[in-house]
Homo-oligomer: A and B are copies of this chain.
Amino acid sequence: MAEAIASKDDYRRYFAADLASHGLTQWRRRDGMRQTELSFQRLLRRLEYLENCRRDPVGRLLAAITRWRYKRRSVLLGFTIPRNAFGPGLSIAHYGSIVVNGNARIGRNCRIHSDVNIGETNGQAPTIGDNVYIGPGAKIFGPIRIGDRVAIGANAVVNRDVPSDVTVGGIPAKVISQRGSNTLVIDGCSAVGL
């Protein structure tokens, strides 16, 4: 069901889609420090590629090194983000504090802000659709399904299913508008033909 990087081409396409969802067309190494979040996502995509596709000794070594760098960077930025959880077109808005459970699955073109927690209840974590906007401070948890093009408001606490094309907010989160995430996310996947 969930997409994951399965080849070197996928790796290139995933990161191109991530860039596009940030509103960028090109990665330049000298942007590393300025584009802290993108630099992190690049490392994430590289690690996904190495772990998913490379079984040769050199690949395993590179994976081990990248894993170590990824963990260090994660701690520095306040991110706990598992591999293969996010589809292509991910856009992390800011470093700060983001926790995502290893069993969570999030679709394409997700825009995610800081102080967000996507967690589990009894080991079961959310399945989130495509083009979902997750506002700052939102907490989402349990064996729930969130549709496509959903906007989750700031500080919302989501513990029930959410249909597609709505905005939810509050504690616990309720549908507060029939307008989805249209103007809040960039469809980086389409932009790169993925």
Contacts and interface: CB of A to CB of B under 8 A. Distances in A.
B135 A137 contact: no
Interface residues of A, number: 38
A119 B96 contact: no
Number of copies: 3
Contacts of A119: 113, 136
Contacts of A33: 68, 71
Main secondary structure of the interface of A (DSSP, over half): loop
A141 to B, nearest CB: 7
A80 interface: yes
Contacts of A42: none
A132 interface: no
Nearest to A158: B154
Contact of A137 (B34, B113, B155, B172): B155
